[in-house]
Homo-oligomer: A and B are copies of this chain.
Amino acid sequence: MTTAKRDTYTPETLLSVAVQVFIERGYDGTSMEHLSKAAGISKSSIYHHVAGKEELLRRAVSRALDGLFGILGEEPARVGRAVERLEYVVRRMVEVLITELPYVTLLLRVRGNTDTERWALERRRDFDHRVAELLRAAAADGDVRGDVEVRLATRLVFGMINSMVEWYRPDGRGVSEREAADAVVQLVFSGLRKQH
């Protein structure tokens, strides 16, 4: 078994094991020994793939960040009225969170003790600002309510979406990706959008 695993090991499977261990033990509490045991390969085999655990963290949070920033490059996020672009981004954020659940979970737990963690936090803030800008533009268009301050509203909306990592399980028995995305969009937008 161990030999078979060793033969088929790829940087991709190593990353997915590492993310689980980081989530369970916390990044600080994870040693190369823990990673080696969980992956069922030797430490030297891990070092064959990556320079160390910080590289695994960087790859893992990059996957989540690439998913999120990728949304902003998609046409419906770039073209059209700000409120429609915002709605698209919120829906896609839920979808990316579900598709990349362990990676986004890890990203949201990053606290900033290493360069990689500080870099990840900064990228998260950049993303938050980009979404806040969209909300501000939608408010300027008169399409969303003006009585909730933009930064506060952004935080609350991100809070609602990000809290899904605490309970969402993609096991096919619970809430589907579509139901979750619809529910978030309904709750957020019938709240944010002015009723005409």
Q: Are A163 and B158 in contact (CB under 8 A)?
A: yes
Chain B residues, Cβ within 8 Å of A160: 156-157, 159-160, 163
- How many chain A residues sit at the interface, stated as a range, is 20 to 34
CA distance A82 to B158 in the complex (A): 27
Chain B residues, Cβ within 8 Å of A190: 145, 190-192, 195
Chain B residues, Cβ within 8 Å of A148: 182-183, 186-187
Chain B residues, Cβ within 8 Å of A167: 155
Say if the beta carbon of A162 comes within 8 Å of chain B.
yes
Asked, given contacts A166-B159, A191-B189, A191-B190, whether A183 binds B145 with beta carbons under 8 Å apart, the answer is no
Q: Are A192 and B183 in contact (CB under 8 A)?
A: no
Chain B residues, Cβ within 8 Å of A161: 159
CA distance A2 to B86 in the complex (A): 55
Q: Are A163 and B159 in contact (CB under 8 A)?
A: yes
Say if the beta carbon of A7 comes within 8 Å of chain B.
no
Contact with B along A150-179 (1 / 0, CB 8 A): 001101111111111011000000010001
Chain A residues in the interface with B (C-beta under 8 A): 145, 147-149, 152-153, 155-164, 166-167, 175, 179-180, 182-184, 186-192, 195
